[in-house]
Structure 1
């Protein structure tokens, strides 16, 4: 029974003048949006995705949807990661500055250990 239906569908597809497209419709305009500083698709962020869909008649907000909770959690994790990486960069800059100061101190110490000029070189000539 399944074979006649299958051959009927295949023959109908062969006779059809339309072709099927397997590209994603969400990517339409993606390049333009990113060039203009917008999100890749219109549903990544903004009032249509961030605000609730409805509220109670007495003004109470609706409970958040699963997608809103997921996006909020992802944003919080991203913010925590940004803060952590920023603190790591700040600490790295402090360590680098300490190393630079230590190298400067070592160079000054080496200069202080060098032999000092003696004799006539120590006598400063008076300015005329």
Structure 2
């Protein structure tokens, strides 16, 4: 009795093997989400990812999960980097403006040191 059962199982297993597929795997709706300004997958951010899964019956929030803590740290690092780069850009703009003002002052000083027209040339330039 064991032999027929064993042969039955092996034939069923051989027939149920799925063929290997080498097609490109794409996430459903990825193109639509990107076109509409959303994340590539539906689980990268949003209420299903960011909000807690449960809370206590008395209303206290649940402790944050490891993934939530990790995403919060990533967002904080991103915000710090954005603030740092913004401050660096402001500092660069101030230095550029300062150099531009110094250059215009030097040009004005050079113009003031140049010889001035006298006599008839002075009267023609005023008209």
TM range (shorter): 0.7 to 0.9
The change in CA–CA distance for 1:93 and 1:125 in structure 2 (over 3 A counts) is: closer
The count of residues paired between Structure 1 and Structure 2 equals 115
Shift of 1:22: 6.9
Q: Aligned equivalents of 1:125 and 1:107: distance in 2?
A: 21
Q: What root-mean-square deviation, in Å, do the aligned CA atoms of Structure 1 and Structure 2 show?
A: 2.7
For 1:69-108, list aligned pairs within 5 A: 69-108=69-108
Unaligned 5+ runs, structure 1: 1-7
Which residue of the partner structure matches residue 53 of structure 1? 53
For 1:11-30, list aligned pairs within 5 A: 12=14, 18-21=19-22, 23-24=24-25, 27-30=27-30
Question: Secondary structure, in 3 states, of the residue corresponding to 2:78?
Answer: helix
Shift of 1:67: 0.2
TM-score, reference length from structure 2: 0.78
TM-score, reference length from structure 1: 0.77
